[in-house]
Amino acid sequence: MDPDDPPYCYLTTTGRRTGGLHRIEIWFALHEEVVYLLSGAGDRSDWVRNLMASPQVTLEIGDRTRATRARLVEAGTDEDRLARRLLVEKYQPGSKEDLSGWGRSSLVIAIHQIGGESGTWAAQASSKPIENIRSRS
Query: What is the domain-level CATH number for residue 24?
Result: 2.30.110.10
- What's the total number of domains in the chain? 1
pLDDT at residue 123, as a whole number: 33
- What pLDDT does 81 receive? 97
Kindly state whether residue 17 falls inside one of the protein's structural domains: yes
Q: Does the pTM of the predicted model rise above 0.85?
A: no
pLDDT value at 61 more than 60 = yes
For residue 1, tell me if it sits in a domain.
no
Please report whether residue 3 resides in a domain: no
Total residue length of the chain? 137
> Has residue 52 been placed in a domain?
yes
Q: What percent of the chain has pLDDT over 90?
A: 73
User: For residue 64, is it within any domain?
Assistant: yes
Residue 4 lies in a domain: no
Residue 27 structural domain: 9-135
Contacts of 60 (CB under 8 A, 6+ apart): 9, 10, 11, 12, 66
- Is 85 within the bounds of a domain? yes
Report if residue 45 sits inside a domain.
yes
